[in-house]
Structure 1
Amino acid sequence: MTGSSSSSNEIPEFPPNFNILAIDTDHKVLEFIEKSCNENSHKATKCSESSSAVDLLLKKEIDFHLIIMELHMPKMDGFGFLRFLNKEVIDVPFIMMSEDNSDLSQQKALTLGACNYWVKPFLQYTYLFERKRLCSPMMRHHVHFRRIRKNIDSLEDDEISETSYSSDGEAEANDDSPHKKE
């Protein structure tokens, strides 16, 4: 496995200006995000469809530092988008935004990997896009994924490959199948 043990304790150096992917069907919100980003020396890429955002991320032409997405989107909502990010192992901090301020929606977003949840309307709060305010959720994301990577890196390859399961579910050694045999 790759990764150095010293890097798990290092604080990341965030760039001075962020590339932010903003996804929403509300063009007023996208314009506000773009204007606020510009005022704070960040660059916003706007998408009014989640499928366009998926294409941008899969092409990997832009190194995004943050994704901000509306929860309620057609075709793929914010929860589905978080699942997509997890499946594709796209390690970009994610902020969910919505008029839905229910605890259930907020908890689900955070459980799926969002590092923050913004309740709309927030169109007067340009300070949200100040570097110091964006670094906080990005830092939470970094710490969360460092813990996951540290746990994965701590497993040794031979521990994984030497363990399999017999038909009664008991672990057996010296078999390279990690799944239960049928």
Structure 2
Amino acid sequence: MAGISKKDIIDRFPSNLNILVIDTDIEVLEFIEKTYKGSHQVIICTESSRAVDLLLRKEIDIHLIIMELHMPMMDGYEFLEFLNKEEMDVPLIIMSEKKEAFQDTKLCIMKAIELGACYNWVKPLTEGYLRTFWVPMLRHYENWHIRKNIERSETSYGSEFSSHREADDD
């Protein structure tokens, strides 16, 4: 990634991050809140719609979102689509249950990653998972930077192409 280093990305963030956690499982929310207590501020939501409202109000600068993939009303896919539509540059780590009977787990995770999730944590969570959020955050910002550069290139190429075409038509 030219022009921006991992250290530059990490240096952009305050030492006390605002982490939005979305899950219907109160025990998971409490575990995450307890683990980050003292080092980061954790905002918890048991409903996706409340998280959407919080993000749209823009009263709090959210640095990381951790969300259960299979939420009622608005699941993780829809939430990722919302972030993309609103062009919100916030890394999102999805959480999912480890179930042997759930055969399409990999497909679900791949779909979430394609929509912009930067990582997947498998429940039950451990403190080790929660301490490794910098790696997915760095991956998110590297990918976001690359995507934006590609979009800029495509836009400038498209407008450049259309102006040449118009000139050729004269």
CA distance in 2 between partners of 1:156 and 1:82 (Å): 23
Q: Unaligned regions of 5+ residues in structure 2, if any? A: 100-104
Letter in 2 for 1:86: N
Counterpart in the other structure of 2:118:
115
Displacement after TM superposition at 1:159 (Å): 4.3
Question: Residues 134-149 of structure 1 correspond to what in structure 2 (within 5 A)?
Answer: 134-149=133-148
Greater C-alpha Rg: 1
Displacement after TM superposition at 1:155 (Å): 4.6
**What SS does the aligned partner of 1:17 have?**
coil
What is the aligned-residue RMSD (CA, Å)? 2.3
Counterpart in the other structure of 1:174:
166
**What SS does the aligned partner of 2:147 have?**
helix
Letter in 2 for 1:78: G
Displacement after TM superposition at 1:157 (Å): 4.2
CA distance in 1 between partners of 2:16 and 2:27 (Å): 23
Q: Is the 8 A contact 2:83 2:89 kept in 1?
A: yes
TM (norm. structure 1) is: 0.78
Letter in 1 for 2:124: P
CA distance in 1 between partners of 2:98 and 2:86 (Å): 27
How has the CA–CA distance of structure 1 residues 159 and 19 changed in structure 2, closer, same or farther, with 3 Å as cutoff?
same
Displacement after TM superposition at 1:156 (Å): 6.1
CA distance in 2 between partners of 1:136 and 1:91 (Å): 16
Question: Residues 11-90 of structure 1 correspond to what in structure 2 (within 5 A)?
Answer: 11=6, 12=9, 13=11, 14-38=13-37, 41-90=39-88
Letter in 1 for 2:56: L
How has the CA–CA distance of structure 1 residues 156 and 85 changed in structure 2, closer, same or farther, with 3 Å as cutoff?
closer
Letter in 1 for 2:84: N
State the identity %.
Answer: 49
Aligned length: 158
**What SS does the aligned partner of 1:117 have?**
strand
Counterpart in the other structure of 1:103:
106
Counterpart in the other structure of 1:3:
none
Counterpart in the other structure of 1:127:
128
CA distance in 1 between partners of 2:166 and 2:113 (Å): 39
**What SS does the aligned partner of 2:53 have?**
helix
**What SS does the aligned partner of 2:73 have?**
coil
Q: Is the 8 A contact 2:24 2:47 kept in 1?
A: yes
Q: Give a deviation string over 1:122-178, Cα, whole Å, max 9, x none.
A: 1xx123333xx11100000011011011222335648427529xxxxxxx8229xxx
Question: Residues 143-158 of structure 1 correspond to what in structure 2 (within 5 A)?
Answer: 143-155=142-154, 157=156
**What SS does the aligned partner of 2:34 have?**
helix
Following TM superposition, the consecutive aligned residue runs of length 4 or more in structure 1 with deviations greater than 6 angstroms are none
